[in-house]
Amino acid sequence: MKVRIRSPKDFYAGALFVVFGAGFTWQSGSYPMGTLQHMGPAYFPFVLGLLMTALGVLVVLRGLTVDDPSRVRLSLRPLFFVVAGAVIFALTVGPLGLVAALAGLIFVSALGGPEFHFREVIILWAALTVLALAIFIYGLSLPFKVWPV
């Protein structure tokens, strides 16, 4: 019998589970295991990691045996820009401050939407910056750097 992916959703989910399960099992190997009575830091995660790997294998097997033709389709464009927006915010908020970081976040994430109107995004950035400053800096007085200098 030829092995073939019959249910992509199960197959890929299972594969992801196996990767996570194996990763955690491998990681817990580097800590003391202890005994059943005195469990070390590795005991519980090691058992869970093995359990997860085993469950993942079961899901993979189901992906190879149960028919479910629905495809997995990821929308990479919105995913990329929304994730990139957060990463840019994280990189800039420390050195450049909130106002600049918000500009990066809003402009980059707006590129992931169905339409992009430059003027609209400028207005959005201005409005959200004022709102964020009012709530978080003046309202909750959080210790954020606001301006680049």
Partner 1 sequence: MNELLQHLSLGFSVALGLMNLTYCFIGVLLGTLIGVLPGIGPTATIAMLLPITFKLPAVSALIMLAGIYYGAQYGGSTTAILVNLPGEASSVVTCLDGYVMAREGRAGAALAIAALGSFFAGCVTTIVIVLFAPVLAGVALQFGPVEYFSMILLGLIAAVVLAHGSVLKAVTMVVLGLLLGLIGTDVTSGITRLNFGLRALADGIDFVVVAMGLFGYAEIVNSLERREQRMVTPSGLAKLWLTWEDFRRSWPAVLRGTALGSVLGILPGGTATLSSFAAYTLEKKVSRDPSRFGKGAIEGVAGPESANNAAAQMSFIPMLTLGIPPNSVMALMIGAMMIQGIAPGPQVMTARPELFWGMLASMWVGNLMLVVLNLPAIGIWVKLLKVPYRMLYPSILVFCCIGVYSLSNNPLDVVLIAFFGLLGYVFTKLDCEPAPLLLGFILSPMLEENLRRAVLLSRGDVTVFFTHKISLVMLVMSALLLVVIIAPVVRKKREETFQEN
Which residues between 11 and 70 bind partner 1 (CB under 8 A)?
12-13, 16-17, 20-21, 23-24, 27-28, 31-32, 35-42, 44-45, 48-49, 51-52, 55-56, 58-59, 62
Q: Is 75 in the site for partner 1 (CB under 8 A)?
A: yes
Q: Is 96 in the site for partner 1 (CB under 8 A)?
A: no
CA within 13 Å, CB half, 34? 14
End-to-end CA distance of the chain: 68
List the interface residues with partner 1, window 103-132 (CB under 8 A): 105-106, 109-110, 112-116, 120-121, 124, 128, 132
Three-state DSSP state, 39: strand
Could you tell me if 53 and 22 are in contact, meaning their C-beta atoms sit under 8 angstroms apart?
Answer: yes
Residue 52: which of 7, 28, 22 has the closest Cα? 22
Structure-token pair, residue 42: 């590795």
Task: Confirm if 57 and 20 have CB atoms less than 8 A apart.
Answer: no
φ, ψ for residue 2, nearest 5 deg = -80, 135
Contact status: 135 vs partner 1 (CB under 8 A): yes
Alpha helices for the chain (secondary structure H): 8-28, 43-65, 76-96, 98-110, 118-132
Between residues 2 and 94, which has the closer beta carbon with respect to partner 1? 94
Q: Per rule CB under 8 A, is residue 9 in the interface with partner 1?
A: yes
Taking the complex as a whole, the smallest distance from the CB of residue 69 to partner 1 amounts, in Å, to: 13
* Total of chain residues touching partner 1, rule CB under 8 A: 71
Cβ-based nearer residue to partner 1, 4 or 106 = 106
Rounded to a whole number of angstroms, the minimum distance from the CB of residue 27 to partner 1 is 5
Query: Is residue 100 within the footprint of partner 1 (CB under 8 A)?
Result: no
